[in-house]
Amino acid sequence: MGGGEGSCRDQHTAAPTPAPPPPSGARHRLVVAALMLSMALVALDSACVSTAVPQIVGELGGFSYFSWMFSGYLLAVTVTLPIYGKLADARGRKPVLLIGSSVFLFGSLLCAGAWSMGALIVFRLVQGLGGGAIQGTVQTLAADLYPLERRPRIQAAMSTVWAVSAVLGPALGGVLASYANWRWIFLINLPVGAIALLLLKRNLHEAQAEQQPRTRIDWLGAAGLFLTTSLLLFALVQGGVAWAWLSAPSLSVFAACAALGLGTFWVERRAAEPIMPGWVWRRRVIAGVNLALGFLGMLMIAPMVFLPTYAQSVLGLAPVAAGFVLSVWTISWPISAALSNRVYRRIGFRNTALIGATIGTALLLAFPLLPYRGAAWQPALLMLLLGGGLGLFQLPLIIGVQSSVPWHERGTATASVLFCRQVGQSVGGVLFAVIANTTLTSWLRDAPRGLRGSLPQGLDQIAGALLHGGSLSRAGTDYLRHALAAAVNHVYLGAAVAAALSVIVLATVTPKRFPLAEGN
């Protein structure tokens, strides 16, 4: 994997062939519009649904397990990413995206007609089965349509879709739930998705797909990978919540996951065209990026999950202001990603990502140094800078991996990267919840005797007690705020460790120079 450095200097894996011409004309613009609409479907969905939870639970009930509306959807997206990636390489991107979008829209229609929380959770799983196809295939098509030097623009445009959705999604969901009905959150997907499907059907043509020989799909391996990953994520989501980590149910699920994993490995080793081929982990470029973005997924959980609670319960901000503190990183992230090509064309993909990961590590370490109950602009500034660092971290690695493989491997390579990031988020959610709960439990246990009787007896009641006051004294409120601030600080330190591990992986596993495949 030797050769020059950066996108302009990287070594080709074979004799260079002419790169595809830059997209131009109305047809390409319509395809890009369809891709952005498709991505907006999955980006807006969860953001809108989260705001309407009170209305949904008020009508359907099921408060004790409503969180599976989100966990089930993410589980379905994650476990299907590698399968859709392989299908996109074997059968072409267009049919996978059309079928996946149709499944997502069918799931949206079912969700709109849900009669109970259990039914809604099942229908959200159906949505997720389609969402996995959209997320992976749109990213792959973006690399297919644009030559290397123009890929940051289209990838930054996709990041902008997520950024705008993060800001507008909660507001849109609140408006629909308050002034119409929460079911419209799902029904509104139908016309948007129909337009995207029509544009893709008429304007997307894949010459490469027609030239590829038909390959046999390893459906047994796909089923094994699906079940193994599902059990793993299920065990991680339920552990410490539905049962203790070392209880019989928890150990049984992990044991079943391990057994299925070994069986799937045995099947994949013998398959002619495995769903998760061995070269994904044998090639240092892809293996290093998979690990680095797995750690990226972990560190993202710290601000996404814990910062809004910190802003409301510790800083005393209103929900809208707390949301703004978090959302500022969605402004700097796509801007940094769009400009990253000016950096990696000079110093290379790996070194650009190293700069971003190092910046992220420093900023996460800086969070615990913020003054207790300081000004809101302080964490907001850190988030703004963090978004800029992560834009340099993620996008060059994704583009580098996509550029290192030929067309018939790009779907699998892209899916493996996104899959590892999603799994990293799931693992990060569990680890950081354990860190936060351990810290809070310690503070409650060690509380002064004069306060113990007035403090909440359970972890679930802490945020509510701070938000709604009640019988808490001023001293009790201040003590809980210190406890919650300490918990979030420890979570951010854990996220800094994940960021530092990504720096180590990039420096030691990921090669300094990325090869370029033909046609890039």
Report how far residue 188's alpha carbon sits from residue 184's, in angstroms, rounded to the nearest whole number: 6
Place 509 in a pLDDT band, splitting at 50, 70 and 90: very high
> Which stretches of 80-229 are assigned E, i.e. beta strand?
none
Report how far residue 410's alpha carbon sits from residue 408's, in angstroms, rounded to the nearest whole number: 6
Q: Residue 85, exposed/middle/buried by CB under 10 A (0-12, 13-18, 19+)? A: buried
Distances (CA, A) of 409 to 158, 347, 349: 21, 26, 19
Burial string for 294-326 (b: 16+ CB within 10 Å, else e) reads bbbbbbbbbbebbbbbbbbbbbebeeeebbbbb
Report how far residue 118's alpha carbon sits from residue 218's, in angstroms, rounded to the nearest whole number: 32
Instruction: Give the per-residue pLDDT at 357.
Output: 96
* Straight-line distance from the first to the last Cα atom of the chain, in angstroms, rounded to the nearest whole number: 16
Q: What is the mean pLDDT of residues 122-129?
A: 92
Report how far residue 2's alpha carbon sits from residue 69's, in angstroms, rounded to the nearest whole number: 47
Position with higher pLDDT, 320 vs 313 = 313
Place 471 in a pLDDT band, splitting at 50, 70 and 90: low
How far is C-alpha 67 from the chain's CA centre? 17
Q: Which of 374, 380, 368, 394 is nearest to 499 (CA)?
A: 394
Q: Which helix (H) or strand (E) holds 166?
A: helix 151-179
Position with higher pLDDT, 168 vs 395 = 395
The token pair that represents 309 in the structure block: 């609670």
Place 458 in a pLDDT band, splitting at 50, 70 and 90: low
DSSP class of residue 453? T
Report how far residue 310's alpha carbon sits from residue 379's, in angstroms, rounded to the nearest whole number: 10
Average pLDDT over the chain reads 82
Q: Which residues, in sequence order, are CB contacts of 227 under 8 Å at separation 6+?
A: 260, 264
Check pLDDT > 80 for residue 206. no
DSSP class of residue 312? I
CB-based contact 204:368 (threshold 8 Å) = no
What are the pLDDT digits (tens) for 13-71? 433 344 444 445 677 788 888 999 999 888 887 778 876 777 887 788 776 666 778 77
The token pair that represents 399 in the structure block: 């583009």
HSE of 331, CA atoms in CB hemisphere, 13 A: 12
Instruction: Give the per-residue pLDDT at 221.
Output: 83
CB-based contact 97:78 (threshold 8 Å) = no
Token pair 């392989």 is found at 86
Position with higher pLDDT, 193 vs 53 = 193
Place 256 in a pLDDT band, splitting at 50, 70 and 90: very high
Q: What is the mean pLDDT of residues 407-418?
A: 90
Q: What is the mean pLDDT of residues 409-417?
A: 90
Instruction: Give the per-residue pLDDT at 23.
Output: 46
Instruction: Give the per-residue pLDDT at 325.
Output: 82
Place 4 in a pLDDT band, splitting at 50, 70 and 90: very low
Report how far residue 119's alpha carbon sits from residue 111's, in angstroms, rounded to the nearest whole number: 8
In this predicted structure, which of 156-170, 177-191, 486-500 has the lowest mean pLDDT? 156-170
Report how far residue 19's alpha carbon sits from residue 431's, in angstroms, rounded to the nearest whole number: 44
Position with higher pLDDT, 169 vs 296 = 296
The token pair that represents 181 in the structure block: 């009905």
Report how far residue 152's alpha carbon sits from residue 344's, in angstroms, rounded to the nearest whole number: 11
Report how far residue 231's alpha carbon sits from residue 261's, in angstroms, rounded to the nearest whole number: 10
Report how far residue 128's alpha carbon sits from residue 133's, in angstroms, rounded to the nearest whole number: 9
CB-based contact 124:72 (threshold 8 Å) = yes
DSSP class of residue 406? -
Q: Which residues, in sequence order, are CB contacts of 10 under 8 Å at separation 6+?
A: 3, 4, 348, 349, 403, 513, 514, 515, 516
Burial string for 394-403 (b: 16+ CB within 10 Å, else e) reads bbbbbbbbbb
Instruction: Give the per-residue pLDDT at 210.
Output: 53
* Max avg pLDDT among 221-230, 257-266, 432-441: 257-266
How far is C-alpha 283 from the chain's CA centre? 23
Check pLDDT > 70 for residue 217. yes
